[in-house]
Structure 1
Amino acid sequence: MYDNRLQDIAPSALPPAITRYLNAHRAHDTAAAVTAFTHDAVVIDDGNTYEGIAAIEGWLGRAASEFTYTVRLTGVQRADATRYVATHHLEGNFPGGTVDLRYRFTLRDDLVERLVIEP
């Protein structure tokens, strides 16, 4: 973990790939969201691991259609030039109804190489 080295930053200071993913995810635009990832990217969400663009695309498609929810960005932090955390507050018709999630991004070649989503 790199929590002790996180620095708060403005959302506008996020790298373009992260901003592209977050905007596309919020709009439920799977096609745009996958363009933010490397071909061999890994996403870990809700105890499941998705490796590669096809698996990530399937995960995004299911996530967009399984529940109805709103997403509000509540904080952005930078660990170093390749690692960022975006914290979101979600409200919707999923179990529990509300949750704060940390989206931990690792970049490679200006694209998302790894994304871990956890409370």
Structure 2
Amino acid sequence: MNMPSPVKAYFDADRNRDARALAAAFAADATVKDEGNTYAGREAIEAWWSEAKAKYEPVAAPLEVEGQGEAVKVLAEVTGNFPGSPVKLTFAFRLAGARIEHLEITQ
């Protein structure tokens, strides 16, 4: 599946359960919006991701990639230890050069 390098880095780090590599895919002042909450900065993003991994053990498998350049959406099947698993979620990335500037995850 053809993805921009920061998006691929995000999903590779997620699959490998590597919080530091995942956070490194983001710009220093990046934001993530997930389940109605917003997380700002790499430290907060790493903490959000680590807490979700510990609690739900989610695994995201990309199915489709749409867009290019600064705006990329990835439809992924997410399985884990949560009600309704598996679910299909949209990961909407806004990129700035070689880093993720913003990520919003929606159903």
Shorter chain as denominator, the TM-score bin is over 0.9
Report the equivalent of 1:109: 97
Larger-gyration structure (1/2) = 1
Residue 111 to residue 99, structure 1, CA distance change in 2 (3 Å): same
How many pairs are equivalent? 107
Aligned pairs (5 A) from 1:4-83: 11-12=1-2, 14-78=3-67, 80-83=68-71
Structure 1 residue ranges, 4+ long, deviating more than 3 angstroms after superposition: none
| Residue-by-residue CA offset, 1:22-74 (whole Å, 9 max, x unaligned) | 11012211011011000000000111100111110100111111112433211
Distance 1:70 1:51, change over 3 A: closer
CA distance 1:58–1:69, shift in 2 (3 Å) = closer
TM-score, with normalisation over the residues of structure 2? 0.93
Indicate the SS of the match to 1:44.
Answer: strand
Q: Residue 6 of structure 1 corresponds to which residue in structure 2?
A: none
Q: Which moved more, 1:23-32 or 1:66-75?
A: 66-75
Matched residue, 1:90: 78
Write the deviation string for residues 1-26 of structure 1: whole angstroms up to 9, x where unpaired. Answer: xxxxxxxxxx22x1111101111012
The answer for unaligned runs of 5 or more in structure 2 is: none
* TM-score normalised by L of structure 1: 0.84
Cα distance in 2 for residues equivalent to 1:27 and 1:110: 20
Aligned-partner Cα distance in 1 for 2:43–2:58: 24
Helix, strand or coil for the counterpart of 1:115? strand
